[in-house]
Amino acid sequence: MRVKLLLKQHVGAPSSPMVSVGDQVERGQRIAKREGLGANIHSSLSGEVVAVTDEYIEIDGEKTDSFLPIEASDNLLDMVEAAGIVGAGGAGFPAHVKLNISLPGGYIIANAAECEPVLHHNITMLETEPEKVISGLLHAKKMISAEHAYVAIKAKYTQAIKAIKKVKDQVGGFELKILPDMYPSGDERVIVREILGVELEPGALPSVAHAVIQNVETLKRIAEAIDERKPFIDKDMTVGGRVRNANSGVVFLDQPIGRRVVELIEECGGYQEPHGEIVLGGPFTGATGGEESIITKTMGAVLVAMPFPTEKSKMGLLVCECGASEQRMRDIATGMGAEIVAVEHCKRMTEVGGRVRCELPGVCPGQAEKILLMRKKGMDAILAGTCGD
């Protein structure tokens, strides 16, 4: 097996290689060190370094059962930093920075919303390894000196809730909180609003409400770092869409980071024809990828779409903060052969610090006036990325 470990798969600077071509490395060995705000990178295979470039380190080897452990420490944050843990839900923010805050009386919340359609690797993982997530949650609670620890999950995930309750009976120290079954209830501001009853301003961080929110896989990786001294070298994923045997999504747990996405598609049986583009991430917020795209610490899904329908019309784009980005929507419209004549944002979107953000995520208004505006500009078909009406 070969893997390419990207030097930048997180928020912050790219990591600096610590190995050269021809070196033998062990699974778990640090091969690139953190630079500034960033994260260490470790080999996901035991084998030989076959390439080192400005963008990646390539290793030819095998996924062994054992790994080289990180150094033990009484300082939990140091272990999280050493393990190279970043937000596995897509954000990629270094966990040792996010958790370097003191919130006495505050909250640590595990985000188990699993909001996007098709994706279910987080819920499957919670059903099978709930004790890891809870261990990570309790470690994080200690790191930030929080008083409360919650697991935020939708009521429909009954098996996962059952598994979490079992751990709760054994270890305690946290509570279950139910999220509404809507998109985007995994948005941090929505979780703070629904669980803590605090309406954060657009752009405000959960820490304003004395809370830190961590994706459940990030907490699993934190537990592995502290309890097993395992660095962040494997990733949980969903593969789905126009893929044989994976229409409604197949879960791959603990895939070596750095594998090519086409390998997972092939392991499912290959494409279901006809098929269109490969999307990396969920159907709402994913980005266009390709067969050679590489699994990173933040990638949650590999989805294969239908071919784009042909729509050679004058198209208007209606953009939502929680849906596809304007660029992604432009790519889709262009792929359809449409001419883009107008772009409007949902009327709840407002500019904060140079970024447009939603004032009230998930409480979505009608969009009639935006549609009329785009009609005036000659639109005769619409591509809507908005969550609601």
How many residues bind to ligand SF4 according to rule CB under 6 A? 14
**HEC string of 34-78?**
CCCCCCCEECCCEEEEEEECCCEEEEEEECCCCCCCCCCCCCHHH
Binding flag, residue 89, ligand SF4 (CB under 6 A): no
Number of CB atoms found within 10 A of residue 334's CB: 13
Binding flag, residue 361, ligand SF4 (CB under 6 A): yes
**Closer CB to ligand SF4, 17 or 206, in the complex:** 206
Longest dimension (CA), the chain: 64
For residue 333, give both structure tokens.
Answer: 């419209």
Binding flag, residue 188, ligand SF4 (CB under 6 A): no
Number of CB atoms found within 10 A of residue 366's CB: 11
Binding flag, residue 115, ligand SF4 (CB under 6 A): no
Q: Candidates 191-199, 215-223, 226-234, 316-324 — which segment interacts with ligand SF4 by CB under 6 A?
A: 316-324
| DSSP secondary structure, 260-301, as one string | BHHHHHHHTTSBPSS---EEES-TTT-EEE-TT-B--TT--E
Binding flag, residue 386, ligand SF4 (CB under 6 A): yes
**Closer CB to ligand SF4, 126 or 322, in the complex:** 322
DSSP 8-state code for residue 207? G
Task: Tell whether omega for the bond before 274 is within 30 degrees of 0, i.e. cis.
Answer: yes
**Closer CB to ligand SF4, 276 or 365, in the complex:** 365
In the set 7, 140, 179, 320, which binds ligand SF4 (CB under 6 A)?
320
Angle (nearest 5°) at CA 234 between 260 and 11: 85
Binding flag, residue 182, ligand SF4 (CB under 6 A): no
Task: Name the pairing type of β-strands 339-345 and 278-280.
Answer: unpaired
**Closer CB to ligand SF4, 232 or 284, in the complex:** 284
- C-alpha–C-alpha distance, residues 149 and 142, integer Å: 10
Nearest Cα to 186, choosing from 319, 70, 281, 315? 281
Q: Candidates 133-141, 205-213, 290-298, 317-325 — which segment interacts with ligand SF4 by CB under 6 A?
A: 317-325
Binding flag, residue 362, ligand SF4 (CB under 6 A): yes
Binding flag, residue 113, ligand SF4 (CB under 6 A): no
In the set 349, 374, 379, 383, which binds ligand SF4 (CB under 6 A)?
349
- Are the C-beta atoms of 52 and 75 separated by less than 8 Å? no
Write down how long the chain is.
389
Binding flag, residue 193, ligand SF4 (CB under 6 A): no
Q: Candidates 46-54, 191-199, 353-361, 368-376 — which segment interacts with ligand SF4 by CB under 6 A?
A: 353-361
* In the complex, minimum distance from the CB of residue 324 to ligand SF4, in angstroms, rounded to a whole number: 11
In the set 177, 189, 348, 370, which binds ligand SF4 (CB under 6 A)?
348
In the set 149, 160, 257, 387, which binds ligand SF4 (CB under 6 A)?
387
Binding flag, residue 346, ligand SF4 (CB under 6 A): yes
Binding flag, residue 322, ligand SF4 (CB under 6 A): yes
Chain residues that interact with ligand SF4, rule: CB under 6 A: 320-322, 346, 348-349, 358, 360-362, 364, 386-388
